[in-house]
Chains A and B, each alone.
Chain A
Amino acid sequence: DIQMTQSPASLSASLGETVTIECRASEDIYNGLAWYQQKPGKSPQLLIYNANSLHTGVPSRFSGSGSGTQYSLKINSLQSEDVASYFCQQYYDYPPYTFGAGTKLELK
């Protein structure tokens, strides 16, 4: 199974700041990577697929990049509504689909 290592586990940032979350796969996943946002008490929502494609309706301040085993999610100009947990997930090699452990983003 492909293991996904996500960092940091938590971070605190100020409004307007740029935030980056990293995800490392245990082997090459050829851009088969998605990012999800989960706000407190809500279900996860897809943000990014194919490592860098924005899902319908997702604000352009979110972006994804990377290749091989290293991927990142960047949030430009942090807004209060971005407070959430973020999860990466690989879908290059399945079953099983595997998720990172998540990053909890809070406001400073």
Chain B
Amino acid sequence: AQKITQTQPGMFVQEKEAVTLDCTYDTSDQSYGLFWYKQPSSGEMIFLIYQGSYDEQNATEGRYSLNFQKARKSANLVISASQLGDSAMYFCAMRGLAGGTSYGKLTFGQGTILTVHP
């Protein structure tokens, strides 16, 4: 079974500052993928960034980077130069190999609400 834990129900950051959203995971799979999604108040789910368990480099996508520490089973999202539009709920999620009874299944954390102050 897979489990994702996001321990920060809410985070506040000043505009233009960087912020780290925490995510830890638990799985017995050797191969897995880690994802971050953003859910603004309008409700849609927006994919931000992905990290494969065998990727040696931390993933980056524009202002988003994923601080992947495999031994500690953590996959924290770093948002640099925060903008007002970054205010949203952020979900960490993971999945295992395609195939079998967990085909494609994403397991989500509880989410972290990020508020960016001007």
**Same complex origin of A and B:** no
Residues of A within 8 A of B (CB): none
Residues of B within 8 A of A (CB): none
